[in-house]
Amino acid sequence: MATLFHQIRIDAPAPRIWELLTTRAGLQSWWSGTVSIAGGDRWRFSSDELDSAVVLKVVEEEPDKRLEWLCVQGDPDWENTLVLWTLERAEQGFHICLEHRDWRQTETELALENTRWGERLVKLRSMCHHNDDLPFNDQDLSVWT
């Protein structure tokens, strides 16, 4: 099994980064498709890049520090993979570390998905640097759990 790794420095406060990783509007701002709450502690992500939507369950959350998702349904390439986000303080802002673990794909498919994650992280950084507030009526998973 393979793990995809990415790290990017974001010059933004941890609460802003966390908001973009844990609210529907935040996720929607950098994900290339649609994000919705799939009930309880689960997010449903869809995009043209995936054969089908994926449902990611929050399995660990330490606010402003660590977030882990497990893919419990959807695209066969994603099922039973883990997505781990960690925020590490940098000289300015934070390093965002992403690990997407337990891939069973071929090298070519891994390269494609690795590129997609890189694009998502660049977009996440861009959204962190925007001073625009997310929609006031945003929902996060805490309202469901």
More reliable by pLDDT, 45 or 88: 88
User: What six digits make up the tokens of 29?
Assistant: 């701002």
Confidence bin at 96 (pLDDT 50/70/90) = very high
CATH fit for domain 2-130, picks 1.10.10.10, 3.60.15.10, 3.30.530.20, 2.60.40.1290: 3.30.530.20
What's the predicted TM-score (pTM) here? 0.85
Distance of CA 109 to the CA centre of its chain: 19
| Length of the chain, in residues | 145
pLDDT number for residue 112 = 87
| Cα dihedral 131, 137, 141, 145 in deg (nearest 10) | 140
**Per-residue pLDDT tens for 106-124?**
777 888 889 999 999 999 9
Structural domain spans, the chain: 2-130
